[in-house]
Amino acid sequence: MSEPDPAREGPSTRVRDIYAGWRYAAVGILGAAVFVLGMVGFYQSIPGIRFVDALYATIRLFILEFDLDGEPSLALDIARFGAGAVVYLAVAFAAIGLLGQQFSLARASRLRGHVVVVGNGPETLPTAANFRTAGLASKVLVINDAGDDVAAARDAGLIRLPPLADDALRRVVDHADQVLVIGETDEQTAELAHRLRGLQVAARFPTTVLLSDRNLAGHWASFAPEAVVCRPARVAIAALRSAPPYLEDAVVPPPIVVGDGPLAAELARRIVTGWQQPGEKLRVYCLGEHEEWVRDAAVGIEERADLVWVPMHANVALAPRMIYRILAQQPPRDPRFTHGGPRVYVAYSENSRTVPIAAAVARRVREVEVTAVVDDAATWSDTLGDDNRLHLVSSQALLSDPATIRLSVADLLAAELVADAGRWPADVAGPFGAVVRGRDGAQLARQRPEVQEAVRSVAEHVEKIFAAAHLELDAGYPAEVPTLMLGPDELTAIEGALDSVLRDPAAAPAAEDSGDEADDEGDASLRRRADEARLRRIELAARLPVLAARAGLVPVRRGTAHAPLTDESVRTLALEVHNDYVRTAATTGNATASGNADLTWDELSETDQRSSIAQVVDIPVKLAALGLTWRPAAEAQPYEISDDAVEMLAEMEHRRWVHFQLRNGRATHTFNVTWAGLADGVQEYDRGPVRLMSRLLGMLGYEIVDGEPRT
């Protein structure tokens, strides 16, 4: 699509703008001058005339009535003809404006595949202009009553119309590629969306609404037909994507959110729901004057989140001081791990608070990375200097960006899927095949076409994939976001759905031949070892709830389904995992030469405690890999796993352990090698967790049993 040539259109555009802005003002000035001349003329022509009579006679000039017995003065002659000129000029201007509107309306009614932006919200004109600039629509219409935006709309190549009656509105939005509703308030947005919804009996057009209230957005997404963009949620997701609260190759202290209001609450909430690993309880420090926004952020995630409210007035001196105190309370850095600085997010309702506080923290607390969310970053960027540790996020720029508005959960999930695939050890191909890794991780755009296709296929069919395990996806900004740790039956069902989505029909015969060869070996565990692709899909199935949550989707179980692994039970079993580790160290003569062998649970670092928690969470993965499941039992019976199966699962356990080390900055760990590269005594540390599974589940009143045969 060709864009207007500024050099060619500039002078004519300025002339039109002057004409549009001053024509009615010129009529008013001319009318005032004629009125003054009329008053003077009547005083000159009728000596001794009363003021009231002169005023009345002058007014009559503008309705083209003039009655004088004597000879009028020159001023009165000019006034009576000037009054007629003013009246006819005003009528002409009004007629031209009306004809212009009718012409624009007729032109708009003939459009197809266009974009329509309705409402007076702050993002209305920037959104329309960005759609036009990005070439996403041949024509973009703006429908609002903000008259001062006429010139700006024309400069941006937009068609602007005033509020329309239903029939005219239907003709304008019919066959639009997209209709965006952006009201000044959520009430106005709802009213406009309701009007447009009523027009869809005779017209068809996809509609997206922008809302500010999270609860209303959740209700709307669950029941209304329009797509919803929740302003605080979308900005929080974008801000956390650009500046993640945790690093993928280093340990960082708990993130800190400074501010007030819905956006600060959404940032704290999204940190937990997007980055909490099952069984962990994420701590987020929340600094602000009032605790209400912290309570709002914690609703529905109380078991998953440790939101620590720190009272603090909005003061540029207090903020750095309070953050220093928080950092001083953190345990000393463990030299075994790579460490990164803490992430600080500043989001006040008023930009005049956000900017100076964020700048003060970045300037005085040198080890932190600061992200400040403001309405318009361009307004404030020149006031910040060259501090590259302070990152400004513009909410208006994000919410008026077509890429952000059109960003679907499938797009977000695809990015998370490929990034997650790039975090695993590279010695074994993942479910999508070998991924390309860079300094900034695995990026979807850099992958081979077949990898991109596989990733997008999973992202686009994620609802179907979860449905295979009788799980539903809630994309409606739900208030309750429980931790979901999938059981072995659910993992098996999801793995089958992944297999269906990822399978290449052309490769099906080869897969069947491979299965026949495994059957010839006659050993079930060896057959499962050969099916590496299935094991990788089970590993992906276990991570899928966390990745989906990071993309804004919440998998939930409906009904009374219950699983033994909860946040509380996992943390309880993790203690027993460490005790078993200590026993293994004793029987192998501490083959790994680890200092943890002499430590109690409370003496372990937080990272080492999380390592034991992750081992418990992986139990369903190991059971699903063997085709096993669990069931409640009053007296749980132990389940004996064959030696071959123990070896296969121990190798999986080592792969999982390496993945955990890589994510926590221990890329150079001595044992970050393949399973075959480990000494037998070291391998025993991975066999122990496999043999321990039955006893751990027995502690919860569950026992291991054979699962349903796969079809």
Q: Name the residue with tokens 């919440």.
A: 554
For residues 610-628, give the mean pLDDT: 94
Q: Is the pLDDT of residue 2 over 60?
A: no
Q: Is the pLDDT of residue 614 over 60?
A: yes
- Residue 274's pLDDT band, with cuts at 50, 70 and 90, is confident
The residue with greater pLDDT, 372 or 407, is 372
Amino acid at 569: S
Q: Is the pLDDT of residue 512 over 50?
A: no
The residue with greater pLDDT, 283 or 425, is 283
Q: Largest Cα–Cα distance in the chain?
A: 128
- Residue 151's pLDDT band, with cuts at 50, 70 and 90, is low
For domain 111-211, the CATH architecture is: 3-Layer(aba) Sandwich (3.40)
For residues 78-97, give the mean pLDDT: 83
Residues 6+ apart with CB under 8 A from 33: 82
CB atoms within 10 A of CB 474: 16
pLDDT of residue 501: 94
Lowest mean pLDDT among 292-306, 424-438, 600-614: 424-438
What are the boundaries of each domain within the chain? 1-108, 111-211, 236-389, 409-557, 567-706
Do 236-389 and 111-211 have the same topology in CATH? yes
- Per the CB < 8 A criterion, the answer to whether 430 and 421 are in contact is yes
The residue with greater pLDDT, 606 or 346, is 346
For residues 384-404, give the mean pLDDT: 86
- Tens digits of per-residue pLDDT, 624-654? 999 999 999 999 999 999 999 999 999 999 9
Among 160, 156, 125, 161, smallest CA distance to 9 is for 156
Lowest mean pLDDT among 147-161, 311-325, 425-439, 468-482: 147-161
Query: pTM, whole model, 2 decimals?
Result: 0.80
Lowest mean pLDDT among 465-469, 514-518, 532-536, 614-618: 514-518
pLDDT of residue 580: 93
Q: Is the pLDDT of residue 286 over 80?
A: yes
pLDDT of residue 101: 66
Bridge partner list, 343: 369
Among 656, 632, 653, 658, smallest CA distance to 641 is for 653
Q: Where are the beta strands (DSSP E) in 14-171?
A: 115-118, 140-143, 159-161
Cβ density class 74-93: b for 16+ within 10 Å, e for less = ebbebbbebbbebbeebeee
For residues 660-671, give the mean pLDDT: 85
Among 551, 473, 526, 464, smallest CA distance to 499 is for 464
Task: Enter the tokens of residue 630.
Answer: 């669990």
251 burial (CB, 10 Å; 0-12 / 13-18 / 19+) is buried
Return mean pLDDT, the chain: 85
pLDDT of residue 449: 94
Tell me which fold the domain 236-389 belongs to: Rossmann fold (3.40.50)
pLDDT of residue 137: 78
- Per the CB < 8 A criterion, the answer to whether 457 and 431 are in contact is no
Domain 567-706 CATH (choose: 1.10.3470, 2.60.40, 1.10.3210, 1.10.490)? 1.10.490
Angle at 261 between CA 259 and CA 265, to 5 degrees: 80
- Residue 523's pLDDT band, with cuts at 50, 70 and 90, is low
pLDDT of residue 322: 95
pLDDT of residue 602: 93
- Tens digits of per-residue pLDDT, 152-210? 666 677 888 888 888 888 888 888 889 999 999 999 999 999 999 888 766 678 899 99
The residue with greater pLDDT, 666 or 603, is 603
Residues 6+ apart with CB under 8 A from 181: 118, 119, 189, 192, 193, 196, 207, 208, 209, 210, 226
- Residue 514's pLDDT band, with cuts at 50, 70 and 90, is very low
Among 388, 383, 403, 404, smallest CA distance to 236 is for 404
Q: Is the pLDDT of residue 119 over 80?
A: yes
- CATH class, domain 1-108, is mainly alpha
Residues 6+ apart with CB under 8 A from 495: 534, 537, 538, 541, 624
Q: State the pairing for strand pair 554-557/471-474.
A: antiparallel
Q: At what angle do helices 351-364 and 318-328 cross, to 10 degrees?
A: 50
Residues 6+ apart with CB under 8 A from 305: 268, 269, 272, 276, 281, 282, 284, 297, 298
pLDDT of residue 639: 94
- Per the CB < 8 A criterion, the answer to whether 143 and 172 are in contact is yes
Percent of the chain scored above 70 by pLDDT?
88
